[in-house]
Amino acid sequence: MSSKLIAPSVLAADFANLQRDVEMINNSDADWFHIDIMDGVFVPNISFGMPVLRDIAKHATKTIDVHLMIVDPDRYIKTFADLGSNILTVHYEACTHLHRTLQAIKAEGMKAGVAINPHTNVSLLEDTIKDIDLVCIMSVNPGFGGQSFIENTYKKIKQLKEIIDRNSANTVIEIDGGVTNKNAKQLVEAGADVLVAGSYVFKSEDPIQTIAGLKEMIS
Ligand SMILES: O=C(CO)[C@@H](O)[C@H](O)COP(=O)(O)O
Ligand SMILES: [Co+2]
């Protein structure tokens, strides 16, 4: 992927002004909407579910990148396709039959992503990498926005890049958690293609400008 992408995480939006924040992303230099779905079981937090995603999708004019932090995600693949997801990312740690899950996601017309927790070694993706459209390397422990970036992520990006190149795969590398202007450039230099940013965007004074700044930094 030549141009690098920014995906604001809607988890950090103001849910009482959700349409305003969705329109902000539509009107910004952001490339994707990143949507965090948490079930309170796979991660110790519950975010939001189908009705909220349905309403976001009604207004969003950009790619919808759904990050499922739920157990047994196979149960909801069709539902998320019907709700308007373009990319559906499941957690490696939540899938017993990852290969089957990836095929099921693609059969519903979506791109298939796999997220890995900070403790999960990227080498575990070697045998499925050609079937994976996107790997989301978690640079925080999933479950909450606003956490500090884990520095070991740079090493994981480089290792994953080697696996992708060795297998001639077309997999995109996404980094999720603690992304700011302090690490964005270095992440892209290490091999990242998509940066998810939640708090850094939404807690800033001017989110449109913050997104533009991030985008410029990585172009
Ligand atoms: O999936 C997650 C957290 O589990 C992320 O997408 C966060 O929502 C990113 O938020 P910040 O770390 O950028 O605040
Ligand atoms: Co996420």
**pLDDT, tens only, 23-47:** 999 999 999 999 999 999 999 999 9
Residue 88: its pLDDT value, please? 99
- Asked if residue 144 belongs to a known ligand binding site, the reply is yes
Residue 178: its pLDDT value, please? 98
User: Probe ligand 1: pick from 140, 141, 147, max atoms within 8 Å of CB?
Assistant: 140
Select which of 36, 39, 65, 133 is catalytic: 36
Residue 6: its pLDDT value, please? 98
| Predicted-complex ipTM score | 0.99
Residues 6+ apart with CB under 8 A from 194: 4, 5, 6, 7, 31, 32, 65, 134, 172, 173, 174, 175
- Locus of tokens 């298939």: 112
Q: Confirm if 207 and 24 have CB atoms less than 8 A apart.
A: yes
Q: Confirm if 114 and 136 have CB atoms less than 8 A apart.
A: yes
Can you list the domains of the chain with their CATH numbers?
5-218 (3.20.20.70)
Mean pLDDT, consecutive 10-residue stretches, the chain (219 aa), reads 90 98 98 98 98 98 98 98 98 98 98 99 98 99 98 98 98 98 98 98 98 97
Residue 88 alpha carbon to ligand 2 centre in Å: 11
- Asked if residue 109 belongs to a known ligand binding site, the reply is no
Decide if 36 is catalytic.
yes
113 touches ligand 1 (CB under 6 Å): no
Question: In sequence order, what DSSP letters do the residues of 93-146 get, joined into one string?
Answer: GG-SSHHHHHHHHHHTT-EEEEEE-TTS-GGGGTTTGGG-SEEEEESS-TT-SS
- Asked if residue 91 belongs to a known ligand binding site, the reply is no
Find the helix or strand (DSSP H, E) in which 37 lies. strand 32-38
